[in-house]
Amino acid sequence: MSASGSVVFDVVGIAAHGAVQTERVTAQDPGQATQLLQLKGWRVLSCRPAATGFSLATLGVGTGGGRARLDIGLFSEEIAALLDAGLGMIDAIRTLASKERDNSARIALERVAADLSEGLPLSRALQNQPGTFPALLTAAVLASEQTGDLVTALRRYGVHLETLNSLRGKVMGAAIYPAVLLAVGALVVLFLLGVVVPRFALLLEGGHRDLPLASSVLLSWGKTVSQHPWFFAAAFAGIVASIVVVLVRAMRNGWQIRGLQKLWIIGPLVRMFRHAQFFRTSAMLVHGGIPVVRAFSMCRALLTPEDQIALDAATTEIAEGQRIGPALQRARIADAVALRMLEVAQRTGKLADVLARIAQFQESHLARAVGLASRLIEPALMIFIGLVIGAIVVLMYMPIFDLASSLQ
């Protein structure tokens, strides 16, 4: 967003000469961007803020990952808009392939169009491109092919993906400030140990006085860092790089880290985030016509490893005829509120709507919990870093204080 409040939008539409094009427009809101191109004779199919900088999509998180860099959310919206505009499925896929800039994504879409021209259904054509289209999208398309509601299923998947990405953005945004705070604090400590402390050591060691033990240890550390600066700089860079690699791998495999949910503060938040994802995705699949047991099994990978084992037992009970709410509560996936809502769903038959409401409830609860955790963690980190830096300063000045008192 610019200083004037304008936003850059990527608008996809059918131009006046009949070709599907993508144009980048700067406007105050999506409505204004759409109106600007409609004045040029366009039929706008989709309008969304332009992607800038680093995002989870670049890591394949929430978009299915894969070799082809295809924005699955945008693909779902555009293919639904083209089908709704009256284009055939093969023509719609080829149209999206012709405008795709990434070569691997374009090849994947062309292969899908070729499979469709040979008579394969869309779900099978998407399955033939492993690593490009997520299994959840394929399942939603397969279910919609049986009900004849493909456009609605694609739009529902796009909205689902947009909601999950927004939820991930909130969680990641709350984690950025503590990470930056820790990095800056570590750099300040290294500067004190490598630059300031060694100069104090030259001054204090010339006084031929016995130094306090803590001050002696600090000065020894300072001289060591000063004598081997490149070693400690490389060690610090290696630690940062290792943390980044671990985080990237964790993002790629969906944060499937055993024992993560047992960590203090972080663990409950991760578990709540997982449950919100599970219920929202299950709602989308059940709404598309997929049986609840199969939907739960397909969403199994969204949970932590501990909850996956519990879910397996719960789905076995549900398949044997047990009620959904008590089975999920015994697995510690559904809380008391979710249990009551699921009991109502089994009486009314509106299971998909209730699952979506449970997801909304847990997402709002997660947003409040993330806000509270950030308000607790950030001051705690600032106090910890202040104590470390203050301890270094006090230990440096203690010998000077002793010297001043002896002179008096």
pLDDT digits (tens, 9 = 90+) for 250-287: 666 555 566 666 666 677 877 888 888 889 888 888 88
What mean pLDDT do residues 332-360 have? 88
Mean per-residue pLDDT, 5-20:
69
* Residue 64: pLDDT over 50: no
Specify the range with the lowest mean pLDDT, choosing from 9-18, 168-177, 249-258: 249-258
Task: Please state, for a pLDDT cut of 90, what percent of the chain lies above it.
Answer: 4
What residues have CB less than 8 Å from 320, skipping those under 6 apart?
none
Q: Taking Cα atoms as reference points, which of 57, 286, 250 lies closest to residue 164?
A: 57
> Where does the pLDDT of residue 330 fall: very low under 50, low under 70, confident under 90, or very high at 90 and above?
very high
Q: Tell me which range, 154-163, 171-180, 300-309, 332-341, is most confidently predicted by mean pLDDT.
A: 332-341
pLDDT of residue 327: 92
Highest mean pLDDT among 34-43, 314-323, 399-408: 314-323
Residues 76-131: tens digit of each pLDDT: 888 888 888 888 888 888 888 888 888 888 888 888 988 888 888 888 888 888 77
Which of 359, 188, 182, 370 is closest to 285 using CA atoms?
A: 359
Task: Tell me if 278 sits within 8 A of 363, measured CB to CB.
Answer: no
Supply the pLDDT for residue 58.
32
Give the list of residues 6+ apart from residue 275 with CB closer than 8 angstroms, or none: 303, 307, 333, 362
H, E, C per residue of 7-49:
EEEEEEEECCCCCEEEEEEEECCHHHHHHHHHCCCCEEEEEEE
3-state helix, strand, coil in the chain (%, to 5): 70, 5, 25
Above 60 in pLDDT, residue 233?
yes
Q: What is the Cα Rg of the chain in Å?
A: 28
pTM of the model: 0.61
Q: Which residues contact 181 (CB under 8 A, 6 or more apart)?
A: 378, 381, 382, 385
What are 74's two structure tokens? Answer: 């945008």
* pLDDT tier, 63 (very low <50, low <70, confident <90, very high otherwise): very low
Q: pLDDT at residue 144 above 70?
A: yes
Whole-number average pLDDT of the chain:
79
* pLDDT confidence of residue 299: 84
